[in-house]
Amino acid sequence: MWSVLVLHQAPSGTKCNITVVAIDLAADPVRDWAESGIASLTGRVDGPPLLPPGRAATVARERSAWIAAASGGVVDVDGARLLSERAAFTGHRRSGAVSAGGACRLLPTIDGWAAVSCARPDDPLLLGALIGAEIPDDPWPAVADWLVEHTGSELAERAELLGIAAGPVEHGAAAPPAPSDPRSVDGLLVVDFSALWAGPLCAHLLGLAGARVVKVETPSRPDGARRGNVDFYRLLHGGHESVVLDPDDATQRSELAELVAAADIVIEASRPRALAGFGLDAARAVNEGTTWISITSHGRDSHRVGFGDDIAASAGLIAYDAEGPVFVGDAIADPLTGLTAAALAMSAPPDGRGMFWDISMSAVVAATLDEPTTVSQPAIREGEQWVFPSPSGVVPVAEPRKRDIIGEAAESGRDTRRVLTDLGIRS
């Protein structure tokens, strides 16, 4: 065992608060996967849970331990369990080469495997453009027929051009940034433009650490997660304030810029062109002292789009049985990235000024993987439960587990006037 020692700055003449968090150096990835709930979501419907490759569950636990230390022990979560908790609310289960949520498929190409998502209303039309044919009500047979005659690189090129969340299964990517010296975020203002899971999880963890979180949406682009599981949305957004501003309105566009100028931390998950359309300038905000968290599928320099399942699979995080590849968990790239983003937001800028963090979800996933594997260890049936033998003993395969929901999630735009008035932006 070893300890992480965190000194929290105190006013001059007073003592520093010291927080000590113990971390087990003898990490056991098998145990971490089994206890995370992810293994139970990995495999065929009628088969045993499979052990995922790499160390993502271990990394998630390391990230949550770092966050706990940086917050003085206030944020008490198990990062490994965060990876599967959405499924505890939705009831998603392992489904082999179909993602737990049902919107993504693992399909063979002429030279390997690919992950393809069909999650948005316009996606069937885009998939039709991909294959150059009209798509029926069930798009998957036609897409599968096209893929087996084309390479993964052809898919990647066309998917990027059309804005389809898809890509070949590959290994290796640039390493994501790592947290530095921790800082307290207690009392800081977080302005959150993100949606779905990764960014909101980051904002949620910062809120647990004492930050004031203001969620910002536009009239034309509300968070799509509002249409998802109500309780899971409440979990991530409980206690946050909600602001809606229209960047097409001159006055509200100005208010949007002033809100960003007032923020200590900004979280967004948009491509640079979309931010420019809002009239927002990340470089200027960082120069003025803001910590800017930019979460994208494959990095800000890439035009590829993606969701948690296809991003994780295309980065190489898939398991295998005798029939072929299967998805690991439920959109695991999202919570893994959200944990990483929160740790970076809680890192002190090296020069005491602003900081820009370019966080690629695919790079976050790829960094947890070792050499590619084509065989995954199946769980063993022991009585009424599945177990994995591990270096530290036999470990039961845990099911996804819910955390308690704290606070209510605000209706869209509920706090707009009050927040802007409170910050001196609107009289």
Alpha carbon distance 64, 343 (integer Å): 8
| Token pair 């160390």: residue | 55
Which distant-in-sequence residues (6+ apart) come within 8 Å of 254 by Cβ? none
Please report the beta strands in 122-217, taking only residues with DSSP state E, as ranges in sequence order: 166-168, 189-192, 212-217
The pair of structure tokens assigned to 290 is 């803001």
Residue 385 Cα distances to 29, 45, 47, 49, 313, angstroms = 20, 16, 13, 11, 27
What pLDDT sits at residue 411? 96
Considering the four listed CATH numbers 3.40.50.10540, 3.40.50.800, 3.30.830.10, 3.30.2310.20, the one that applies to the domain covering 2-93+174-421 is 3.40.50.10540
Sorted by where each begins, the domain ranges of the chain are 2-93+174-421
Q: Among 343, 88, 414, 390, which Cα is nearest to 198's?
A: 343
Checking if the pLDDT of 9 tops 60, the result is no
Checking if the pLDDT of 122 tops 70, the result is yes
**44-81 pLDDT per residue, tens:** 999 999 999 999 999 999 999 999 999 999 999 999 99
Q: What residue type is assigned to position 202 of the chain?
A: C
Q: What's the average model confidence in pLDDT over 337-341?
A: 98
Which of these ranges, 20-24, 34-38, 359-363, has the smallest mean pLDDT? 20-24
Beta pairing partners, 17: 8
- For residue 273, with 0-12 CB atoms within 10 Å meaning exposed, 13-18 middle and 19 or more buried, which class applies? exposed
Q: What's the average model confidence in pLDDT over 262-279?
A: 87
The pair of structure tokens assigned to 139 is 């798009």
Higher pLDDT, 25 or 413: 413
What pLDDT sits at residue 89? 98
Q: What percent of the chain is helix, strand and coil (3-state, nearest 5)?
A: 35, 20, 45
Residue 26: pLDDT band with limits 50, 70, 90: low
**373-400 pLDDT per residue, tens:** 778 999 999 999 999 999 989 999 999 9
Alpha carbon distance 127, 105 (integer Å): 13
